Amino acid sequence: MTTSTATSAAAARRRAPASAPPPHYTTLDSPLGPLLLTADASGALTSLSVPEQKGGRTPQPEWRHTPDLFRAAERQLAAYFAGELEEFDLEFRTSGTDFRERVWAALDSVPYGTTTTYGEIAARVGAPRAALRAVGGAIGANPLLIVRPCHRVIGADGSLTGYAGGLHRKTRLLTLEGALAPDLSRPPVPSCGSAADGSGSAPR
């Protein structure tokens, strides 16, 4: 199997099927507000949304509230917000165009505590400079906030630019990771816990 074929096969395994059954979901308390997580029947994460997120998800009547399926994600997110985890080890499966999947995969290679630019992400996926807007759109459509670190992508001039979860959350994440100097006027970031009653949600 060639390298390109192997890469395509790996990407296909990480994508959700075109006609998937209703997802499992749970909510977790966090310093960013209640996180809404969805997963398929195998437990692979399919989305992570925050409140008021542009393009975020909202639980639907047919969704299955299955907190036990998310225990690994709960533990790792708690450790991340406590400053004890720098890299997630979670299975996830997303559904996007080939271009978006390449952009989302490129986010995985941006190390904890660092930032990159939209232009650098474009170069990593072999996109021409004329495609920067499309790269930005793909990053903005990332369905797995925090886990796939689109918050680490900033403007070429160092500006934080847009973030689907809100610039205040992007600032908090980059500060937590040490990529931004802390604002001493803000209280410290608390740890992440569970909200297993499923009362929290993010608008769509």
Active site residues: 150
Q: Which residues of 20-31 are buried (b: 16+ CB within 10 A; e: fewer)?
A: eeebbbbbbbbb
Does residue 189 sit in helix, strand or coil? coil
- As a whole number of angstroms, the distance between CA 109 and CA 22 comes to 30
- As a whole number of angstroms, the distance between CA 165 and CA 98 comes to 24
Structure tokens at 138: 């793909």
- As a whole number of angstroms, the distance between CA 36 and CA 21 comes to 18
Side-chain half-sphere exposure of 26, counting CA atoms within 13 A = 20
- As a whole number of angstroms, the distance between CA 104 and CA 15 comes to 12
Structure tokens at 29: 């308390």
Q: Are 179 and 152 in contact (CB under 8 A)?
A: yes
* H/E stretch holding 193: strand 193-194
Return phi, psi of residue 165, to 5°.
Answer: -90, 0
